[in-house]
Amino acid sequence: MSQLRDKRDVGYIREISDKALDLMSVYNIVPSPSNYQVWYDYACEENMSLNKAIDDMIRKKKSFTSKVCNNLYERFYSSELEQNAVTNVGQGMQSELTKIAKAVSDINKGTAKYGASLNESLKGIDDVPGGEELKTIISSLMTRTKETAKSNISAQQQLKESAKTVQKLQTTLDTVRQESLTDMLTNIGNRKSFEENLKLAITTATEKGNELNLIIGDIDHFKKFNDTWGHHVGDQVLKAVAHTIKTRVGEAGSAARYGGEEFIIILPDVSLEVAEKITDTIRLSIAGRNMKRKSTGENIGKITCSFGVAKYRQGEHRNEFLERADAALYRSKTNGRNRITLEGNSKSNVVKIA
């Protein structure tokens, strides 16, 4: 599997590069640096969102025009690269300012010791031949030493203030980053948040040998509902479903809006059977809600969701993990909706209907 190979291996790089260029040739894409980055990463199969977006476009037989390619790059790279660069610079600045402040502090301590030594040398100097002249020289040195110490203290204070400013900027950047991981409509994690959490969850499960489950849920007939009641009511439904999922999952895992009316849940450290029970609690809670239009109080009926559940297999690529959960969701949809399908289950075993 590709994730087990060394990404720095020349043979691997050439293989992926050739695959990327072949794909670009097949879809008549100009091999510009930005396009090459997109398709190299697609060939690597490391960015699930990118791969899903391109796969959907290929399946729908869309053309990869210059505009489409630019949009892909802007969507998956530009803002993230810029944000990461700013974050790294901020962290670097703070680290360097801390080092400089420490260096100035050490100089201050040395200067203070030097001043104390000069002061000590003044004692009894009157009894030494030429003592008055030496006293004048030492006093002058002490004056300059004090001035230097004062200047250093001022510089150290300024550095401390600068470090505080950088810390505030870093906090702001962290806030912006958190916002970038949150779906603004539903206030739960977004696709980027899910991908980061999944990478971490797989790493932890691999290292510790723990179980890990992935659940994909989709609101049934959402397009028809949206067309009937309008997007404002549709947004209300998305918020309600997201809230239900978030509260029912709680601390057991992490939930995110994967896109449109699709939600995704990562459940670590539980069996597939427990994951199914948690999912069914979510399904029943959603199906049991009586939705009303907020503006008028008009009853708009019930909402149901279908789910697919997959258990992680040690060593598999996360894309394969996602595909198995997605395939289980598809079976729930084709077998009647408002139900849960466990990966690998046959038609007759797929149950849990409200």
Predicted confidence at residue 220, as pLDDT, reads: 95
Catalytic, out of 74, 96, 207, 261: 261
Q: Which residue has the tokens 């007939």?
A: 221
pLDDT over threshold 80, residue 200: yes
Dist CA 275 CA 91 (whole Å)? 39
Mean of the per-residue pLDDT values for the chain? 80
Burial of 275 (0-12, 13-18, 19+ CB in 10 A): buried
State which H helix or E strand residue 207 sits in. helix 191-208
Q: 299-321 pLDDT, tens per residue?
A: 888 899 999 999 999 989 888 99
261 is catalytic: yes
State which H helix or E strand residue 180 sits in. helix 131-180
Q: 89-144 pLDDT, tens per residue?
A: 556 556 655 666 666 666 666 566 656 665 665 555 555 555 556 556 556 666 76
DSSP 219-239: ETTHHHHHHHH-HHHHHHHHH
pTM, two decimals, is 0.59
Q: Which two tokens stand for residue 186?
A: 């539903």
Q: 34-47 pLDDT, tens per residue?
A: 888 899 989 988 78
CA distances from 129 to 2, 65, 141, 142 (A): 85, 93, 20, 21
Return all residues near 60 (Cβ < 8 A) that are at least 6 apart.
none
